[in-house]
Chain A
Amino acid sequence: MKVSIYRYNPELDNEPYMKEYDIDTQGKDLMVLDVLALVKEQDPSMGYRRSCREGVCGSDGMNINGKNGLACITPLSEVAPGVLEGRKPLILRPLPGLPVIRDLVVDMTMFYNQYEKVQPFLQNNTPAPAIERLQSPEDRAKLDGLYECILCACCSTSCPSFWWNPEKFLGPAALLQSYRFLADSRDQATEDRLGNLDDPFSLFRCHGIMNCVSVCPKGLNPTRAIGHIRSMLLERAV
């Protein structure tokens, strides 16, 4: 099959280009990450990130035939019709909107900066109990669909609002984590957290385009979380 990969090495190339590879998959429905390993055998200069190879570490987020996803859990048959059969090329590019360090490797600093801003840790100033802070099963259930995020950045880098204002709009990933702590019965910083979100950019740049929902490899729904925060902000304002 044909594989077309975005190549850019700032030390050698003046500008990025797409490089074509011929890869023999023996007709198997490999994961995209396996195909990348075969490419790497052919051309060791091609760079990409990966670690767990099973969808838990979030390091191999990339743009696969136009859609962000994790290479390790995306089988060729799910990329686009005709890719598995070799009728269409597999096209791999780095996550959009972030600076490229090299080939498929992007600089995630802007993404992490936004994550840091939402203070993604439990804040509670009451004396800690002897063993642990307890939570009812119902309160715990409120965190389902929020805590599973692996920070792969597939969502934020598919969001146009994040592309245009990556330093002001927090992006779906950071907002999902913001809500993860707003929804936590043990967290006491709600007022502070909301106070940090009521400007026109941090949250309100979300226009409900829902690209984030359609790409999240963990099946999470940042748009819904953003909606919950918006309701909290509105309630707080009136």
Chain B
Amino acid sequence: MVTSVTSFGKNGVSDWLIQRVTAVIIGVYFVGLMGWLMANSGFDYATWKGFMGSLPMQIANTLMMFSVAAHTWIGLWGVTTDYLTSLQLGGSATGIRLLVQAVIILLTLVYLLWGLVMIWGGA
């Protein structure tokens, strides 16, 4: 009914699904990390680096980065289309909203790339 707007996926259904699935991934990641921290209290840098540098963690971190990026974008897209509309801002709303959304996309992409470099860069 409302056409030509989808924030990320194919339509509202896929956006909604992506939002839930990424939330679960983020949740599981944090629980797992907490578990590791509790099992390894008093760990040193080398242990931490070894843990984070292991292949399973590299994959988990990558998944986490993409989940956070998608989750953030869908969520903030919702926020901007709620509060940055002509109802609140008048005629300039569309311009302001697009600008804010562009900044959000840019930041998200920078974080994503930066994260991937950190995870896979081997440093």
Contacts and interface: CB of A to CB of B under 8 A. Distances in A.
A196 interface: yes
Interface in B8-24: 11-17
Interface residues of B, number: 19
Chain A interface helix/strand/loop/mixed: loop
B38 interface: no
Interface of A: 117, 160-161, 164-165, 168, 170, 196-205, 230, 233-234, 236-237
B44 interface: no
Given A168-B2, A237-B13, A200 B85 contact: no
B78 to A, nearest CB: 8
Contacts of B15: 200, 204
B96 to A, nearest CB: 15
B3 interface: yes
A233 B1 contact: no
Nearest to A236: B13
Contacts of B85: 164-165
A159 to B, nearest CB: 12
A192 to B, nearest CB: 11
Contact of B13 (A160, A168, A198, A201): A198
A164 B1 CA distance: 17
Contact of B1 (A117, A230, A237): A117
B82 A200 contact: no
Nearest to B77: A200
A202 B82 contact: no
Nearest to A97: B87
B82 A164 contact: yes
A57 to B, nearest CB: 28
Contact of B2 (A164, A202, A234, A237): A202
Nearest to B6: A200
Chain B interface helix/strand/loop/mixed: helix
Contact of B11 (A160, A161, A164, A199): A199
B81 A233 contact: no
A170 B12 CA distance: 14
B5 interface: yes
Given A199-B1, A200-B7, A234-B17, A164 B87 contact: yes
Given A117-B1, A168-B2, A200 B87 contact: no
B7 to A, nearest CB: 6
20 contacts: A117-B1, A161-B82, A164-B82, A164-B85, A196-B1, A197-B12, A198-B11, A198-B12, A199-B1, A199-B11, A200-B2, A200-B7, A201-B5, A201-B12, A201-B81, A202-B2, A204-B15, A230-B16, A233-B13, A234-B17
Taking each of A161, A199, A200, A233, which has the highest tally of chain B beta carbons within 10 Å of its own beta carbon? Answer: A200
A96 B17 CA distance: 31
B36 interface: no
B120 interface: no
A124 B13 CA distance: 27
Contacts of A198: 11-13
A204 B16 CA distance: 7
Given A164-B83, A165-B82, A199 B16 contact: no
